[in-house]
């Protein structure tokens, strides 16, 4: 007999998909229990009820798969809710989050907590006009879940709590240090750091500082290949202010 949990449906999201053949899709899937894994969806584009429409990024799914080897085969898929309604800039941010996960997660490492954080950031991106605060929160959580947690609430030299009116720099070797000058390379205000470590909303200039800081924090793990979704976001046509 088959083991009882064969074909057990597990919550997951499609991070990315590509055509594998005329009728099949190759998926990159993110689940809590198995982390990131590739799945082959045979016949997803054909048949009486093709699953291609369902197998899209940002749709909560229940998935079951079988097989041995690196690429296993999807055997069942059901919707686990409505697609997260990401439109416009929020959609570009969704691609960015997916690209981060595709680039930074090893395959088949369980990430139960990160899976929850992922669902939270998608919901926040869909619900809020402020895209920076949820993205920065997710990036910090991602670093921590990967084992690269950063401490942003006290300076690493003296152990003193961050002061909102002072400026700091982050060194990959030594941690958070007081900045020599506020205009210095990569200097971040204590107020921004406090917002980040408390998960509070970032104002306009803080959002820019935080974006720069997180970009520097992620850089060593991303390597030399630039993030394409970041480039797309930067190149996107902006709407005139107020619209």
Partner 1 sequence: MSNPGLLNELVAALRCLPGVGPKSAQRMAFHLLQRDRDAGRHLARVMAEAMERIGRCRQCRTLSEHALCATCASPKRDASLLCVVEQPSDIAAIEQATDYRGLYFVLGGRLSPLDGIGPEELHLDLLRHRLHEGGVSEAILAISPTVEGSATAHYITGIAEGSPVRITRIAHGVPLGGELELVDGGTLAHAFAGRTHL
List interacting residues with partner 1 (CB under 8 A). 15-16, 18, 22, 48-49, 51, 53-54, 56-59, 79, 82-83, 86-88, 91-92, 94-96, 98-99, 102, 227-229, 231-232, 235-240
For residue 10, list its beta bridge partners: 63
Nearest-approach distance from CB 12 to partner 1, in angstroms: 16
Closer residue to partner 1 in complex, CB, 79/184 = 79
Closer residue to partner 1 in complex, CB, 22/70 = 22
Nearest-10 Cα torsion for 173, 229, 134, 63: -110
Nearest-approach distance from CB 95 to partner 1, in angstroms: 5
Nearest-approach distance from CB 21 to partner 1, in angstroms: 8
State the DSSP string of 130-199: --HHHHHHHHHHHHHHTT-----SB-TTT-PBPPTTSEEEEETTTEEEE-S-TTSTT-EEHHHHHHHHHT
Nearest-approach distance from CB 139 to partner 1, in angstroms: 17
Closer residue to partner 1 in complex, CB, 36/193 = 36
- Residue 205: which of 109, 119, 132, 124 has the closest Cα? 132
Please give the radius of gyration of the chain, using alpha carbons only, rounded to the nearest integer.
20
Closer residue to partner 1 in complex, CB, 165/225 = 225
């Amino acid at each position: 007999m088959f083991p009882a949990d064969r074909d057990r449906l597990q919550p997951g999201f499609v991070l990315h998909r590509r055509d594998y053949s005329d009728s099949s899709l190759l998926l990159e899937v993110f689940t809590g229990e198995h982390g990131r894994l590739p799945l082959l969806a045979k016949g997803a584009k054909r048949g009486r009820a093709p699953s291609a429409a369902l197998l899209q990024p940002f749709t909560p799914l229940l998935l079951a798969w079988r097989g041995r080897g690196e690429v296993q085969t999807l055997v069942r898929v059901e919707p686990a809710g409505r697609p997260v309604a990401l439109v416009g800039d929020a959609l570009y941010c969704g691609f960015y989050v997916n690209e981060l996960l595709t680039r930074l997660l090893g395959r088949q490492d369980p990430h139960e907590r990160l899976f929850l954080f992922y669902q939270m950031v998608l919901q926040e991106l869909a619900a809020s006009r402020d895209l920076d605060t949820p993205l920065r929160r997710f990036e910090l959580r991602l670093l921590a879940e990967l084992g690269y947690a950063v401490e942003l609430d006290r300076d690493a030299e003296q152990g003193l709590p961050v002061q909102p009116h002072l400026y700091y720099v982050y060194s990959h070797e030594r941690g958070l240090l007081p900045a020599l000058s506020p205009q210095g390379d990569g200097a971040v205000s204590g107020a921004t750091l406090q917002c980040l470590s408390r998960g509070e909303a970032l104002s306009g200039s803080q959002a820019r500082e935080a974006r720069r800081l997180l970009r520097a924090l992620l850089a060593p793990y991303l390597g030399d290949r630039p993030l394409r979704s970041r480039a797309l976001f930067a190149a996107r046509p902006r709407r005139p202010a107020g619209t």
